[in-house]
Amino acid sequence: MTRRSVFQTLNAGLALAVAGRTAHAAPSGRLKQSAARWCFAKVPLEDLCRASAEIGLVGLDLIDPPDWPTLRKYGLTPTMVPGAGQIAQGWNRKENHDRLEKEMMANIARAAEAKLPNVITFSGNRRGLSDEEGKANCILGLNRVKKAAEDAGVTICMELLNSKVDHKDYQCDHTAWGAAVTKEVNSPRVKLLYDIYHMQIMEGDVIRTIRENIASIGHFHTGGVPGRHELDDTQELQYRTIAKAVADLNFQGYFAHEFTPAKDPLPSLKQAVELCTV
What the chain holds in terms of domains, given with CATH numbers, is 31-275 (3.20.20.150)
How many CA atoms lie within 13 Å of 231's alpha carbon, on the beta-carbon side?
27
How many CA atoms lie within 13 Å of 57's alpha carbon, on the beta-carbon side?
29
Residue 93 contacts residue 63 (beta carbons within 8 Å): no
The model's pLDDT over 153-189, given as tens digits with 9 standing for 90+, comes to: 999 999 999 999 999 999 999 999 999 999 999 999 9
Whether the pLDDT of residue 20 is over 70: the answer is no
* Residue 8: predicted pLDDT: 44
- The model's pTM is 0.91
The model's pLDDT over 53-99, given as tens digits with 9 standing for 90+, comes to: 999 999 999 999 999 999 999 999 999 999 999 999 999 999 999 99
* Residue 21: predicted pLDDT: 42
Contacts of 243 (CB under 8 A, 6+ apart): 29, 31, 255, 275, 276, 277, 278
Residue 251 contacts residue 31 (beta carbons within 8 Å): yes
* Mean pLDDT score, 270-274: 97
- Give the residue with greater pLDDT, 9 vs 158: 158
Q: What is the DSSP letter of 89?
A: B
Which H helix or E strand runs over 270? helix 265-275
* Residue 7: predicted pLDDT: 43
Whether the pLDDT of residue 4 is over 70: the answer is no
Alpha-carbon distance of 111 to 243, in angstroms, equals 27
